[in-house]
Structure 1
Amino acid sequence: MAVTIEIDHARTRAKAAAATGQPVVPQAVKGPIRRLKWAILLLTLSINYVTPFLRWDRGANAPDQAVLLDFANGRLYAFFIELWPQDLYLVTGLLVLASTILILTNALGGRLWCGFACPQTVWTDLFLLVERLIEGDRRQRLKNIGTPLTAKRVIEIAAKHAAWLLISVATGGTLIFYFTDAPDLLRGFASGEISATVLTWILVFTGTTYGLAGFAREQVCTFMCPWPRLQGAIWDPEAYTVNYRDYRGEQRTSAKKAAELRLQGKPAGDCVDCGQCVAVCPIGIDIREGPNFACINCGLCVDACDGVMAKLGRPRGLIDYESWKNIERGRRAEPAVNRLVRPKTIGLTAACVALAGVITVAFGARTTASLSVQHDRDPVAVRLSNGSVRNAYTVKLLNKSASPHRYTLSVGGVTAKMAIVGNDALAPIEVAPDASESLRVTLTAPEHVQGDVVFTAREESGAAVLTARDKFVER
């Protein structure tokens, strides 16, 4: 049986809400999934706010902040990892690996990232918690919509937005800490010595947090984020996503009416149409209408439905993490089948392992220094009055380490005399820490010499030997 991911009722709900000016107001819920979400929220917020203050000793002349995006010097530090602009291929590999892991997660459990660890979800949950603590739960907040302002309501609204702004400022300030030394910038905040650039970026990050988590909320997950738009292409009916067991819940009727029907030997569904699954949904969708591209798989409707079933003395799992294939099997009264391990997930897992292996090997093969050679193009060769041929090159030595290094340059492959413009060819070349040194090098060879020339830079300590290859041309 073919199935399509429903989007129409999400659009209808969004249009209806916009027409009435009523936002999605989710209700608080208790249960194991909600407790897991609180734990993940606490963990992710702790990582975000604490990480900039962690220290990592990299030796002299290197920053000791564990995670630092040092754009001014072209560095990215993450504990023992140090990346230069030349290491962009590693960053690209990490992004590809992260995307592959996300697709694997989607094949196993749908939009789990969106529902549990996405920054939009985490900060929206935090803002909703503040809103509930100040204005009350869903019923009270809905009652407040459209009512005349009173002194109490003005105080509540002011307190809520003040708390939101404090969280947003803390978030914006913390994000800036990732781009400069956090303790130094914190001392700058305390003394009032903040540059206009830093203040501007804090305001940008503060406004973004305040707007997206305080007002946009479900609109980000439904319309602004590209991930739900991909669901039509990568949605997997074998993935364990949040689904409604309609074969058990239909036909919907009240608990009293269901009891009467069962006494008469007539079928009655377990769903009492209480609407709790819709009330707690942060997106405002009804999962009973089928798979929906806007569902972030947070599972709060599972907690809400299980709570209702417990009060009615009925089995849990009317709404549950279940594959769509098993929903179809249930309709045919067939047993559920767990197919988390299947060719698709095996292939994606193998791809993740392979990518991780390639990135690890590439990272381990990196050097802290490099040698590059560029041949002069105009002219490529000069014939001297004595008949010999001269080629000129620009040789660049790059030192990525935090200490200075001295190299001796030599050439091989052709019989030619090397000269370094402005330097003694035999003298060591010193390259400062985190710096590069460009040299103008000429090679002069007798007539009829042509072939590959190999430049070799040997470190004085013998720890590194760098090579680069180019051509020596006669004309």
Structure 2
Amino acid sequence: MSERDRIKTVDDSPEAQGPISLYAKRKRIQVKSISGRFQRIRDFSIISTMGLYLALPWIRWDGQQAVLFDLPNRQFHIFGLTLWPQDFLFLSWALIIAAFALFFFTVLAGRVYCGYVCPQTTWTRFFQWIEQLFEGDRHSRMKMDEAPWSMSKLLRRGSKHVLWLALAFLTGLTFVGYFSPITDLTVRIFSVEWGGWELFWVGFFTVATYMNAGFMREQVCLYMCPYARFQSVMFDRETLIVSYDEDRGEPRGRGSKKRNQEPQAVEKGDCIDCGLCVQVCPTGIDIRDGLQYECITCAACIDACDDVMDHIDKPRGLIRYTTENALEGKESRVLRPRLIGYGIVLLAMATLFMATLYNRVPLQVDVLRDRNQLFRVASSGRVENVYRLEILNKGQDAHRYTLSLEGPEGLRMENRTEFTIQPGQHLSLPVTVSYDPYEVEMQSSTIWFSVRSLNDPDLEKQHESRFITPRR
């Protein structure tokens, strides 16, 4: 085989002999501030999300913290509702509902969660507002990056970082305040009485918030968040996404609003290639390149482009929320079987969850039989079965309960039938049930133990068990 017929598998050119680096230095994204209808919605959502997060631990309900996850005592207090480890089903249920809600909104409008309510987006937005307060808008910040250090630059940058750290510390303090009473936690700041775990978690979330929202920003969305990777699985051609209308915008060209009215003007699209859609993007992408996984559907490019279209007397919507089918001129249906199916499942699960939670009885009764023997015969001749009742008061008030037995006639309980249980207290109550075989004939049968509150007649719980008799 001749030299010319050989397949060249290795590039031995001089350019290929140098070291190959897989690392690309990050280019810092300076986002230009923009106003518009979608940004007003986004700001309202972000401020509401942050306000709710910071305010919830401080709300009082029936004399105690409204939302408190008391891990040492294994109690979750949520606006008068107390959940225990035995209520783990509700937590699992809530997480499944949240997952279906994420699927529903992703199928409907892509990564709208990322753009409007995601914690990373929320905190980054607040950090950007602080940055803009001290360093100005995009061009001012870019000039400051290139300018040498001076007293003015030091003061501006230093003040920014002080406020960043303050907000990050408030974030960490609030997070720990969901697990430790926040009023007591705040008071103990000044007396330096925090425990080791409190100090660790406040510090951890302070540093994490400071780094993620202050420095990493879009890097979290691009490389750390798994949602950006599997979102495309839930997309279809009817999903509302932020898109650039290429048929209308191309070919691009700079010029005034009268550029196409000149006699010998070359027909151009509506896009004047101003680049504002790129400057306002928090992840630094160009939406005109098509759908990209980096897009968080924040619609900042829509507001920027609409503002430009207003200035050049062109109709809005060059960049807009639309579907792939609509861009291609095909019929588009937002309401489609897949979306309706997710909606029905989500509505059904949420309705059942709320109904079950509303009808939940804050009392748990478990009946355990004596494992050593099925029955025993007492010295008096009575046949006895021994049980142990595990009773848990899952409410927030003390209750006096009465215990009753339902079963065949002739059975009776040998133990106390009234007792008081404090809120959150667990009572292990031994119970003996017996009958006299010389008075009645009895066969093995089902019985029910009923525990009812004397303070609240509607608070009642029954548990089924089995009474065993000797075989005749």
Match of 1:273, SS state, is coil
Aligned mates of 2:294, 2:458 — CA distance in 1: 56
Residue type of the alignment partner of 1:392: V
**Match 2:42 to one of 37, 52, 62:** 37
C-alpha contact 2:260 2:268 (8 A) present in aligned 1: no
Match of 1:366 among 332, 346, 360: 360
CA distance in 1, matches of 2:159, 2:148: 18
1:109, distance to aligned residue in structure 2 (A): 2.0
Q: 1:68 to 1:260 in 2, by over 3 A?
A: same
The one-letter amino acid paired with 1:353 is L
Amino acid aligned to 2:425: A
What is aligned with 1:438?
Answer: 428
Of the structure 1 ranges 167-176 and 115-124, higher mean CA displacement relative to structure 2 is found in: 167-176
In 1, distance between residues paired with 2:380 and 2:26? 89
1:246 aligns with 2:246: yes
Question: How do 1:194-273 residues align onto structure 2 when only pairs under 5 Å count?
Answer: 194-255=194-255, 259=259, 263-264=263-264, 266-273=266-273
Q: Which secondary structure state, in structure 2, belongs to the residue aligned with residue 19 of structure 1? A: coil
When the two structures are superposed, what TM-score results if normalisation uses the length of structure 1?
A: 0.84
Return the offset for 1:217: 1.0
The residue identity in structure 2 corresponding to 1:471 is R
**Residue equivalent to 1:97:** 97
Report how far residue 151 of structure 1 moved: 3.9
Of 46, 49, 54 in structure 2, the residue corresponding to residue 49 of structure 1 is 54
Letter in 1 for 2:41: L
Does the 8 Å CA contact 2:260/2:267 hold for their aligned counterparts?
A: no
- Superposed displacement of residue 79, structure 1: 2.5
Match of 1:22 in 2: 27
Residue 418 of structure 2 corresponds to residue 428 of structure 1? yes
How far is the alpha carbon of 1:390 from its aligned partner?
Answer: 4.4
**Pairing 1:350-429 to 2, within 5 Å after superposition:** 350-382=344-376, 390-414=384-408, 425-429=415-419
- Count residues in correspondence: 445
User: Contact 2:82–2:394 (CA<8 Å) still a contact in 1?
Assistant: no
2:470 matched to 1:470?
A: no
Query: Corresponding residue for 2:165?
Result: 165
- Which stretch has the larger CA shift, 291-300 or 102-111? 102-111
Task: Please give the alpha-carbon distance, in whole angstroms, between the structure 1 residues aligned to 2:452 and 2:39.
Answer: 60
Secondary structure at 2:388 match in 1: strand
Q: C-alpha distance in 2, partners of 1:21/1:225?
A: 17
Q: What is the Cα deviation at residue 360 of structure 1?
A: 2.0
In the alignment, the residues of structure 2 paired with residue 308 and residue 317 of structure 1 have an alpha-carbon distance, to the nearest angstrom, of 11
Cα-to-partner distance string for 1:275-332 (whole Å, 9 max, x where unaligned): 2211211011111111112211101111222222233332221111112211111xxx
Query: In the TM superposition, what are the counterparts of 1:280-359 in structure 2 within 5 Å?
Result: 280-329=280-329, 339-359=333-353
Q: Which has the higher contact order (CA 8 A, sep 6+)?
A: 1
Conserved 8 A contact 1:258-1:269: no
Query: Which whole-Å deviations, capped at 9, do the CAs of 1:215-241 have from their partners, x for residues lacking one?
Result: 221122222222222212101322322
Contact 1:262/1:268, CA 8 A, preserved across alignment: no
Normalised to the residue count of structure 2, the TM-score between the two structures is 0.84
Gaps of 5+ in 1: 1-15, 58-62
Q: Offset of 1:77 from its aligned partner?
A: 2.7
Q: Is the 8 A contact 2:46 2:122 kept in 1?
A: yes
Quote the sequence identity (%).
35
Counterpart of 2:125 in structure 1 is 125
Give the secondary-structure state (helix, strand or coil) at the position aligned to 2:179: coil
**Structure 2 counterpart of 1:54, one-letter code:** I
> Does the 8 A contact of 2:361 with 2:460 survive in 1?
no
Structure (1 or 2) with the larger CA radius of gyration = 2
